[in-house]
Amino acid sequence: MSRQVYLSGQLVDEAEAKISIFDSAVLLGDTVTESTRTFGHVPFKLEQHVERLYRSLKVTRIDPGMSDSEMVRVTGELLAANLPAYAAHEDCWIVHNISRGRSLQGPDPTVQRSAATIMIFTQPLDLTGWARFYREGCHAVTAMSRMIPSQSLDARIKNRSRMAYTLAEMEVKLVDRAAQGIILDVDGNVAENKGGNIFVVQGGVLKTPTTANCLAGISRETVIELAGRLGVAVEETTLQPYDLYTADELFFTSTPYCIMPATMFNGLPVGDGEVGWITRQLLAAWSELTGLDIIQQALAQLDAT
pLDDT tens digits, 19-70: 999 999 999 999 999 999 999 999 999 999 999 999 999 999 999 999 999 9
pTM of the predicted protein model: 0.96
Rounded mean pLDDT, 282-303: 97
Cβ count within 10 A of residue 18: 10
Q: What is the band of 72 on the pLDDT scale with cuts at 50, 70, 90?
A: very high
Q: Are 211 and 200 in contact (CB under 8 A)?
A: no
Query: What percentage of the chain exceeds 90 in pLDDT?
Result: 94
Looking at residue 246, what is its pLDDT?
98
Looking at residue 305, what is its pLDDT?
82
**Most distant pair of Cα atoms in the chain: their distance:** 58
pLDDT tens digits, 270-282: 999 999 999 999 9
pLDDT tens digits, 147-203: 999 999 999 999 999 999 999 999 999 999 999 999 999 999 999 999 999 999 999
Q: What is the band of 300 on the pLDDT scale with cuts at 50, 70, 90?
A: very high
Better-scored residue on pLDDT, 257 or 112: 257
Give the list of residues 6+ apart from residue 278 with CB closer than 8 angstroms, or none. 201, 204, 206, 230, 232, 249
Predicted confidence (pLDDT) at residue 1 exceeds the cutoff of 80: no
Cβ count within 10 A of residue 259: 25
Buried b / exposed e across 220-245, counting CB within 10 Å, b at 16+? bebbbebbeeeebebeeeebeeebbe
Chain-wide mean pLDDT for the chain? 96
Looking at residue 207, what is its pLDDT?
98
CA–CA separation, 65 vs 70, rounded Å?
10
Looking at residue 126, what is its pLDDT?
96
pLDDT tens digits, 102-126: 988 888 888 888 999 999 999 999 9
pLDDT tens digits, 200-242: 999 999 999 999 999 999 999 999 999 999 999 999 999 999 9
Residue type, 153: L
Looking at residue 106, what is its pLDDT?
82
Beta bridge mates, 194: none
* Residue 285 DSSP code: H
Looking at residue 262, what is its pLDDT?
98
